[in-house]
Structure 1
Amino acid sequence: MTASGTDASGNGARTDASAAAPRRRGRPARTEGAAGPGGRERILTAARTEFAERGYDKTSIRSIAKAAQVDPALVHHYFGTKEQVFGAAIEVTFEPALHLPDVLAQGPEGIGERFARYFIGVWENPATRVRLLAVIRSAVTHETAAKVLRGIVLRRMLERVAAELAVPEPRLRAELAAAQLVGIAMLRYVVQVEPLASADPEDIVRMVAPTLQRYLTEG
């Protein structure tokens, strides 16, 4: 090899240490702590915020990854598609409502009042109300979001509620009770129709409880 840095064949190829290696393409490096449970939770938190603020249509895997400060490939790794990310975010958002079977398991007496008070209580909580509003708004404007929501509500809540009911057509009754309460939530918290929007929660519970009791217990 000559002092100039050419090889013995004279082709002029650089062999000295100053020759820069070509930059490798591919997946960007993860930020520190991006992988593992902490990274997954950051992605889920970012997804809930993105869906709440931007809606289903305008939220993307890339925007979720940017908000969570991770590589988009990591979002795909943990959750797959945008639809699956949305489903995971909904399950976390609906976690309080998914405990309804525990309320029903206390027995048939007073079940209508307990059902109504629990449901209204979840919506009256400012923290859970913001998240639920985001989910409902996405579901009423996008069929994919609505499909995901239906699947979770049916699988995780209504089917479990129906399993606790010792009455004919328990699935239909559970859906009727849910329809009653979801209708109240839409008018009170989403559309904000008066006087329902400003009514005392206890008045709502008192008025709706007998109807729920009839749906859930009468043969």
Structure 2
Amino acid sequence: MNVETTPRRSDATKAAILEAARRRFAEDGYRKATIRAIAADADIDPSMVMRYYGNKDGLFDAALDIDLELPDLAAAVPDSLGALIAGRFLELWEQPPTSEILLTLMRSALSDDIVVERMQRIFAQQIMPAVLRFGDPSDAPHRAGLIATQILGLALCRYVLKLPPVVALTHEQIVADIGPTVQRYLTLGQR
């Protein structure tokens, strides 16, 4: 019986640590967040954080691990790709826990090189492969970079700076306005 409850308790402890870490990293940033503060937020001993995640870097990676779960663009109607991408990013930015993770990454990347590296990995591992499916592979980094500027600019204005006209936009308006721009970047150079 003890064998059955141990994994559950372990999973619950890990989940509490990750939730506390996400909040703490969001509030304090990577540099100021401490293992002790995260452990206190999770109501556990700091040694448990170290046991499960090794160090602050390991905890940060686990807490801010995100799968963008981009739609299969190869199966989509070609003229709808930009709208699909814009819609997917809105979903990610507005659904916990991804919304919290992305907000933490966005805020922290402005002041911390470790977070910048994390954002670059997400870009390279998840966005670039989607863009590589279209057009000339040699200009895929250029096109993916332009898409990132559009999506991250929208996120900065809507979720970090909370500019009233951008916050007031409905999902439909954003997809209708941003989708064609993302589409143009995705298929840049194609006819």
Q: TM-score, normalised on structure 1?
A: 0.71
C-alpha spacing 1:74/1:165, structure 2 compared with 1 (3 Å): farther
1:166 shift after superposition = 4.1
1:114 aligns with 2:101: no
Say which one has the larger Rg. 1
1:171 shift after superposition = 2.7
1:173 aligns with 2:147: no
Q: Which moved more, 1:106-115 or 1:191-200?
A: 191-200
* SS of corresponding position for 2:155: helix
Q: Distance in 2 between matches of 1:171 and 1:119?
A: 19
* SS of corresponding position for 2:75: coil
User: Is there any run of 5+ residues in structure 1 with no aligned partner, and where?
Assistant: 1-31
Structure number with the higher helix fraction is 2
Partner residue in 1 for 2:51: 77
1:57 shift after superposition = 2.5
For the aligned residue pairs, the C-alpha RMSD in angstroms reads: 2.6
Identical columns (%): 36
C-alpha spacing 1:145/1:34, structure 2 compared with 1 (3 Å): farther
Q: Distance in 2 between matches of 1:66 and 1:125?
A: 26
* SS of corresponding position for 1:192: coil
Are 2:22 and 2:100, in contact at CA under 8 Å, matched by a contact in 1? no
Higher RCO (C-alpha under 8 Å, 6+ residues apart): 2
Give the residue type in structure 2 aligned to 1:160: P
C-alpha spacing 1:180/1:192, structure 2 compared with 1 (3 Å): same
1:50 shift after superposition = 1.6
What do residues 89-122 of structure 1 show as CA deviations (whole Å, max 9, x unaligned)?
A: 111xx33xx111x342323331011111111232
* SS of corresponding position for 1:195: helix
Partner residue in 1 for 2:133: 164
Are 1:173 and 1:215, in contact at CA under 8 Å, matched by a contact in 2? yes
Q: Distance in 2 between matches of 1:69 and 1:124?
A: 28
Q: Distance in 2 between matches of 1:63 and 1:178?
A: 33
Q: TM-score, normalised on structure 2?
A: 0.80
Q: How many residues align?
A: 182
